[in-house]
Structure 1
Amino acid sequence: MSQDAVGGFAARGASAGKKPNFFMRIVIFFRQVISELRKVVTPTRKELLTFTGVVLGFVIVMMALILGLDTVFSWVVNVVFGVPS
């Protein structure tokens, strides 16, 4: 059998509809995982710090937005329903 471009096995002759057995599919899966892991590029220290800063900045902005909305909604609920004396 010959391997095709997408990592599967190309059909040859009479075995056109036959797929590899269970264990062969596991081996193919792990080969594909290793192949994909080789494509991973580790970010540089500068990129890592930049990405971390962007994520932390976004989280802080979202926290402030939710705090603001919560405060406004609490104020509206108190105005509409009043606080029992």
Structure 2
Amino acid sequence: MIEIFALACHASNGAESARQWLCALHALLGGASPLDRMDTIVGMEEVTTMLAHVEHGMPVYLPIPIQVTPRGPLAVAACR
């Protein structure tokens, strides 16, 4: 997760904007936030793919169907 936060900081030019992006709900993630999705390896890969696209100015899309999971305690604490 630390590597993903570092990538988010780089892609969004700062820790605060990275935190906001990680906490924001995204339609491409089925209405979940990236932090919500990072409770599984597949979710971490989805978020990493999104960040790589953002960093390189590419359109962001995910070619696989996504199931939304409820916010875990980590996501709730980080987004306060």
Taking structure 1 as the reference length, what is the TM-score of the superposition?
A: 0.27
Instruction: Decide which structure has the larger Cα Rg and report it.
Output: 1
Report which structure shows greater RCO (CA 8 Å, sep ≥6): 2
Taking structure 2 as the reference length, what is the TM-score of the superposition?
A: 0.28
